[in-house]
Amino acid sequence: MKKKPRKKPIVLVLAGHDPGGGAGIQADIETIAANGCHAAAVLTAMTIQNTAEFKKYIPVNPQNFLQQIEVIRSDMEISACKIGLIGDVDILRAIETVIQELGDVPVVLDPVICAGTGEKIMPDKVRIELYEKLLPHITVITPNSLESRTLADAHDPAVAAEYLLQRGCKAVLITGTHEPTSSVINTLYQETHAPMEYAWPRLPGSYHGSGCTLSSAIAAHLARGGNIEQAIWAAQEYTWNTLQHGLQLGKKQCHPDRFYRD
């Protein structure tokens, strides 16, 4: 008897392309595959970058972007959505249309303000529109501590998290890699829960695409039916292991090994 074809949860990924594969949509696809889901991936932008520098953001056509998503959704059932690089207002508005149509599907936003090498990517006008158009639809937002300060114009990450929650996010996970602590402290904030801290051993070096990895892993675990706390715990554990097994493929930042094996 012929076996019935297997299925996997599908994560719709809206993110930029990093030609070196450390960050961006390739990082998302690898992460989602490694966490038991299938990625349906649509580019928000192309970039010219490597592990040492970011040179250029190249926007995509918003109509082509929306048409790609339309044909995907006509053919596949989306279980979660992950949003990455948003570098122009036209794509942000297109993304707003998409997530409104997704309804109750969980949405994870990695608010990429700067490249891993430090160059600013998200213009201020995009950040301002993001508050009104996207945040009310977001299940989990995953800024690092520097991004949280920029998003909320607040030095204290707890104050920044409260600001983002008031804007409509269900949960805010602020990562602490950039803070001067012996361990990396990540903190989860939700309106109806006390903050939850997670301490991870600090690893040497710098990594290209760690934020993409974390946010995509959260989306994958939400797609598989986990609740917010379960998805965030599993995604952090997975991400830390990808960094511990990091690969020196370029001259500067390491790539997370998203297919590591213990």
Q: Is residue 257 part of a domain?
A: no
- Among residues 245, 96, 66, the alpha carbon closest in space to that of 255 is found at 245
**pLDDT top residue among 53 and 212:** 212
Q: Is residue 88 part of a domain?
A: yes
- Per residue in 178-200, pLDDT (tens digit) is 888 999 999 999 998 999 999 99
Q: How far is CA 108 from the centre of its chain?
A: 6
| Contact in structure between 172 and 162 (CB atoms under 8 Å) | no
Instruction: Provide the CATH number for the domain around residue 51.
Output: 3.40.1190.20
Q: Is residue 235 part of a domain?
A: yes
pLDDT at 2: 66
| Contact in structure between 82 and 217 (CB atoms under 8 Å) | no
Which of 93-97, 116-120, 172-176, 218-222 shows the lowest mean pLDDT across its residues?
116-120
Range of the domain at 134: 10-244
Q: Is residue 259 part of a domain?
A: no
Using CA atoms of 70, 75, 81, 86 in order, give the dihedral in degrees to the nearest 10. Answer: -30
pLDDT at 173: 98
- Under the banding of pLDDT at 50, 70 and 90, the label for residue 1 is low
Residue 176 φ/ψ, nearest 5 degrees: -110, 25
- DSSP for 52-103 reads S-EEEEEEPPHHHHHHHHHHHHHHS---EEEE----SHHHHHHHHHHHHHHT
pLDDT at 235: 98
Task: Please say if the pLDDT value at position 255 is more than 80.
Answer: yes
- Per residue in 9-31, pLDDT (tens digit) is 999 999 999 999 999 999 999 99
pLDDT at 120: 78
Mean pLDDT of the chain: 93
Q: Is residue 251 part of a domain?
A: no
pLDDT at 117: 66
Task: Please say if the pLDDT value at position 201 is more than 60.
Answer: yes
Q: Is residue 65 part of a domain?
A: yes
Residue 58 amino acid letter: I
**pLDDT top residue among 155 and 74:** 74
- Per residue in 131-171, pLDDT (tens digit) is 889 999 999 999 999 999 988 888 899 999 999 999 999 99
Q: Is residue 56 part of a domain?
A: yes
Share of the chain above pLDDT 70, in %: 98
pLDDT at 125: 87
Q: Kindly report the number of other CB atoms within 10 A of residue 53's CB atom.
A: 12
pTM of the model: 0.95
Task: Please say if the pLDDT value at position 109 is more than 60.
Answer: yes
Number of domains forming the structure of the chain: 1
Q: Is residue 188 part of a domain?
A: yes
- What sign does the dihedral 18-138-142-229 (CA atoms) show? negative
